């Protein structure tokens, strides 16, 4: 079977990419691994997508579903070079918007969901890459963002899904609280099927939104303040933490926010009805002051926006110190934040790397940013090993390897460490039921034998922690 010719017949010659141009689809935001795919196909609609998947399945061709390519775990990389990348960016329609639900294609950017909703409603999940990341990728990774504490992650906002299975059959799943079939696809990283449509939950815009900034002279006090906020009965919309390294990076970049000179700061957002918000702001302020924090409460939306843009710009701001960096997303209990951050400092010193901590503090979702020199294999290896130790430190205190970025390539080595053998077998049973020939996003999340690529970095990533490296 001439797969390339048949792919072209389905999507048109203009929408087939190969050769050197396909290298542009050979990496995502996890830039440590770059592999050029066999082909890239960009179907125009659901009908073309279904035909394309059926063709690849019949020809036993492995496939990777891809959106905007902002994944931070390497989950959209064609790892062996034999895969065909199916890019769903052209499936970006808004199909309907009724009541508190909106139905969209997987290629629609996150930021556009709210823009297509009525002015009094908004879509809550807002990853830092919200201006470019696509809904299909958000569903596949169960993406979060700063508003997870109050509104939940993508999982909590998915009502229904239309999915294409590996043989090209189409299923509409979800829409009921009883045995919701959509749930199994959220966070599956394209390993069970392709998202064709997503019906998403919208929320009424709050009457009032206020920001409180707390600047602390030690990280431990800032970490303790996170739990203290909840102990005061406040359920904030967002609690973000930045350490001195991340603050310094932002202040050197175009995202400069005018943050105070401190060891760590907390940005808290409270929203809802005005009297409730004012009381929450009072309690948050009291918590900060009792723990020795300097408090700032912006009096206008422009000032609040400046503070939040600095936080959301922290990831791209890392470009002022390094051309590449790793970021992880393990989760720790809020009560363990202080001790884990101390351990992160020791790990950074041991490997001689800089770590900038900027993260979703309310749910303990760490985001250590670790710069490295992409021209130096040793620099990358030190960054990887430091990152692995941070994940292991998180798991030791009751945390999980990934909170929102997914497992992909980056954390595949931890699946056998975090899950028991019986739990892994359940996951494999699900995988085999949907993808018996293992053609969908191979070697991501679940794998039995490491891929043979001849790449030193890939070999390191797929070495189990307890095996000799």
Residues 312 and 216 placed together within one structural domain of the fold: yes
Q: Does residue 137 form part of some domain? A: yes
Q: Does residue 53 form part of some domain? A: yes
Quote the pLDDT of residue 466.
Answer: 58
Q: Does residue 61 form part of some domain? A: yes
Residues 251 and 197 placed together within one structural domain of the fold: no
Q: How far apart (Å, rounded) are the C-alpha atoms in residues 152 and 412?
A: 25
Residues 151 and 173 placed together within one structural domain of the fold: yes
270: containing domain = 208-318
Q: Does residue 295 form part of some domain? A: yes
Place of tokens 């967002």: 238
Residues 149 and 229 placed together within one structural domain of the fold: no
Q: Does residue 365 form part of some domain? A: no
Decide if 113 contacts 136 (C-beta within 8 A). Answer: no
The CATH number of residue 165's host domain is 3.30.465.10
Residues 152 and 69 placed together within one structural domain of the fold: no
Decide if 209 contacts 203 (C-beta within 8 A). Answer: no
Q: Does residue 410 form part of some domain? A: no
Quote the pLDDT of residue 467.
Answer: 62
Burial of 152 (0-12, 13-18, 19+ CB in 10 A): middle
Residues 109 and 26 placed together within one structural domain of the fold: no
Q: How far apart (Å, rounded) are the C-alpha atoms in residues 435 and 432?
A: 5
Burial of 61 (0-12, 13-18, 19+ CB in 10 A): middle
Residues 157 and 169 placed together within one structural domain of the fold: yes
Q: What is the DSSP string of 375-428?
A: T-HHHHHHHHHHHHHHHHHHHHTT-BS-SSS--TTTTGGGHHHHS-HHHHHHHH
Q: How far apart (Å, rounded) are the C-alpha atoms in residues 408 and 64?
A: 12
Q: How far is CA 309 from the centre of its chain?
A: 18
Residue at a domain's end among 318, 341, 368: 318
Q: Can you give the length of the chain in residues?
A: 469
Residues 106 and 49 placed together within one structural domain of the fold: no
Residues 190 and 233 placed together within one structural domain of the fold: no
Report the number of distinct structural domains present in the chain: 3
The token pair at 291 is: 């723990």
Quote the pLDDT of residue 403.
Answer: 92
Quote the pLDDT of residue 184.
Answer: 96
Residues 98 and 194 placed together within one structural domain of the fold: yes
Q: Does residue 344 form part of some domain? A: no
The token pair at 350 is: 């041991």
Give the β-pairing of 63-66 and 84-87: parallel
Q: How far apart (Å, rounded) are the C-alpha atoms in residues 229 and 286?
A: 9
Q: How far apart (Å, rounded) are the C-alpha atoms in residues 326 and 388?
A: 11
Residue at a domain's end among 318, 341, 375: 318
- Count CB neighbours of 389 within 10 A: 18
Residues 58 and 125 placed together within one structural domain of the fold: no
Q: Does residue 432 form part of some domain? A: no
| Phi and psi, residue 357, nearest 5° | -95, 120
Residue at a domain's end among 264, 286, 318: 318
Closest CA to 6 of 77, 57, 68: 57
Q: How far apart (Å, rounded) are the C-alpha atoms in residues 237 and 294?
A: 21
Write out the chain's pLDDT in tens, 469 residues: 789 999 999 999 999 999 999 999 999 999 899 999 999 999 999 999 999 999 999 999 999 999 999 999 999 999 999 999 999 999 999 999 999 999 999 999 999 999 999 999 999 999 989 999 999 999 999 999 999 999 999 999 999 999 999 999 999 999 988 889 999 999 999 999 999 999 999 999 999 999 999 999 999 999 999 999 999 999 999 999 999 999 999 999 999 999 999 999 999 999 999 999 999 999 999 999 999 999 999 989 999 999 999 999 999 999 999 999 999 999 999 999 999 999 999 999 999 999 999 999 999 999 999 999 999 999 999 999 999 999 999 999 999 999 999 999 999 999 988 999 999 999 999 999 999 999 999 999 888 888 888 888 898 898 877 564 5
The CATH number of residue 276's host domain is 3.30.70.2190
Q: How far apart (Å, rounded) are the C-alpha atoms in residues 434 and 175?
A: 20
Q: How far is CA 301 from the centre of its chain?
A: 27
Residues 193 and 284 placed together within one structural domain of the fold: no
Burial of 109 (0-12, 13-18, 19+ CB in 10 A): buried
């Amino acid at each position: 079977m001439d797969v390339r010719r048949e792919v072209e017949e389905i999507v048109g010659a203009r929408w087939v990419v190969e050769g050197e141009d396909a290298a542009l689809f050979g990496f995502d935001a996890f830039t440590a691994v770059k592999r050029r795919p066999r082909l890239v196909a960009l179907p125009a609609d659901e009908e073309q997508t279904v035909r394309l998947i059926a063709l690849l399945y019949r020809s036993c061709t492995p496939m990777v579903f891809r959106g905007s390519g902002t994944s931070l775990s390497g989950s959209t990389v064609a790892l062996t070079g034999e895969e065909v990348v199916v890019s769903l960016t052209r499936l970006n329609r808004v199909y309907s918007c009724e009541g508190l639900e909106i139905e969209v294609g997987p290629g629609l950017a996150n930021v556009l969901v709210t823009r297509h909703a009525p002015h009094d409603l908004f879509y809550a999940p807002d990853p830092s890459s919200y201006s470019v990341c696509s809904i299909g990728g958000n569903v596949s990774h169960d993406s979060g963002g700063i508003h997870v504490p109050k509104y939940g992650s993508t999982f909590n906002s998915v009502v229904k899904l239309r999915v294409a299975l590996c043989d090209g059959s189409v299923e509409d799943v979800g829409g009921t609280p009883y045995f919701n079939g959509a749930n199994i696809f959220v966070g599956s990283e394209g390993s069970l099927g392709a998202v064709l449509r997503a019906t998403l939950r919208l929320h009424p815009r709050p009457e009032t939104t206020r920001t409180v900034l707390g600047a602390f002279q030690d990280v431990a006090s800032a970490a303790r303040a996170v739990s203290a906020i909840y102990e005061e009965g406040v359920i904030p919309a967002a609690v973000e933490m930045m350490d001195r390294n991340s603050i310094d990076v932002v202040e050197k970049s175009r995202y400069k926010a005018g943050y105070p000179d401190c060891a760590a700061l907390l940005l808290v957002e409270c929203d809802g009805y005005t009297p409730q918000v004012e009381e929450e702001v009072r309690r948050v302020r009291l918590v900060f002051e009792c723990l020795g924090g300097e408090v700032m409460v912006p009096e206008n939306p422009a000032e609040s926006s400046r503070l939040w843009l600095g936080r959301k710009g922290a990831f791209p701001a890392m470009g002022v110190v390094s051309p590449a960096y790793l970021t992880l997303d393990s989760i720790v209990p809020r009560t363990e934040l202080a001790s884990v951050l101390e351990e992160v400092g020791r790990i950074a010193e041991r490997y001689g790397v800089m770590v900038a901590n900027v993260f979703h503090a309310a749910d303990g979702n760490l985001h250590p940013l670790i710069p490295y020199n992409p021209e130096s294999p040793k620099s990358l290896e030190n960054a990887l090993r430091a990152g692995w130790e941070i994940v292991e430190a998180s798991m030791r205190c009751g945390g999980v390897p990934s909170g929102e970025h997914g497992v992909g390539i980056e954390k595949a080595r931890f699946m056998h460490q975090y899950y028991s053998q019986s739990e892994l077998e359940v996951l494999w049973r699900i995988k085999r039921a949907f993808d018996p020939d293992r053609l969908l996003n191979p070697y991501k999340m679940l794998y039995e034998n490491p891929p043979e690529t001849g790449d030193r970095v890939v070999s390191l990533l797929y070495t189990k922690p307890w095996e000799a490296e």
